[in-house]
Amino acid sequence: MRNKWMLGLVLALSAGLAAAATPKKVVLDVQNMTCAACSITIGKALDKVAGVQSKQVDAQAATVTVIFDPSRTSVTEVSRAVTEAGFPAKARIDGH
């Protein structure tokens, strides 16, 4: 009986992983980034967005690259978070 229960649990977990959304990547062009504190502020804003898995802020290139779970958030929400932190952001058309 225990083996059947364990097999059921393994199958359920496997199905859940298979159903998880494939992460998406967006590159945002960001205005007003002038210093390291700007990068920190943007990072903290993105930390509050559910579904953001990683972020890379490049102040010199004025870009933010974000990997996110599209089942939990969207490009619009990611861009909005950065914009509301004081740094107008726009997603690149090609995503890169």
pLDDT in tens, 34-89: 888 999 999 999 999 999 999 999 999 999 999 999 999 999 999 999 999 999 99
pLDDT at 49: 98
4: CB partners within 8 A, 6+ apart: none
DSSP code, position 21: P
| Predicted local confidence at residue 37, as pLDDT | 92
Interval 87-93 mean pLDDT = 95
pLDDT of res. 75? 96
The rounded distance, in Å, linking the Cα atoms of 40 and 35 is 9
- What structural domains and CATH numbers belong to the chain? 21-91 (3.30.70.100)
Residue-level pLDDT at 85: 97
Identify the pLDDT of residue 87: 98
Q: Report the DSSP pairing between strands 52-58 and 63-68.
A: antiparallel
Amino acid at residue number 48: K
Question: Which residues sit opposite 65 in a β-bridge?
Answer: 27, 56
